[in-house]
């Protein structure tokens, strides 16, 4: 069964904190990995792709461990505007170009 699993949270953190989200996927034949951000009642927006070597974009760092089928997202120096739901997204090779979404992890950054 194709699955993308995430801790739903919610994660409540103060401004300036560092927070990490984890995600596991069940299909070893997966080839593309992403983190999306979804605000309440809005469409998902691509936050960053995740590469095997790990990648960083400002305060956001993504890591991929293919052997463990595990993806992570680290947010440093949290801002109030980071409050959203973060979706772990995986493309399974046998799904063509379709994306498989986790249920999302909810983050609330408080003053």
Instruction: Write down the least CB distance from residue 85 to another protein, Å.
Output: 9
Q: What is the rounded (10 degree) CA torsion for 78, 84, 90, 96?
A: -140
Which conformational region is residue 8 in: left (phi greater than 0), alpha (psi within -120 to 50 degrees), or beta? alpha
CB contact at 8 A, 6 and 105: yes
CB contact at 8 A, 20 and 74: yes
Closer Cβ to another protein, 59 or 66, answer by number: 66
Closer Cβ to another protein, 75 or 90, answer by number: 90
Instruction: Write down the least CB distance from residue 91 to another protein, Å.
Output: 6
Which positions lie near another protein, rule CB under 8 A? 4, 32, 41-45, 87, 91, 96-104
Closer Cβ to another protein, 79 or 93, answer by number: 93
């Amino acid at each position: 069964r194709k699955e993308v699993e995430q801790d739903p949270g919610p994660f409540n953190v103060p401004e300036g904190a560092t927070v990490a989200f984890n995600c596991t996927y069940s299909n070893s034949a997966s080839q593309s990995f992403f983190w999306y951000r979804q605000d309440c009642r809005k469409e998902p927006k691509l936050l960053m792709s995740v590469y095997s070597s790990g990648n960083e974009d400002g305060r956001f760092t993504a890591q991929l461990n293919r052997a463990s089928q595990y993806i992570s997202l680290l947010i440093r120096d949290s801002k109030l505007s980071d409050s959203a739901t973060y979706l772990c997204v995986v493309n399974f090779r046998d799904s063509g170009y379709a994306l498989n979404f986790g249920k999302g992890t909810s983050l609330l950054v408080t003053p």
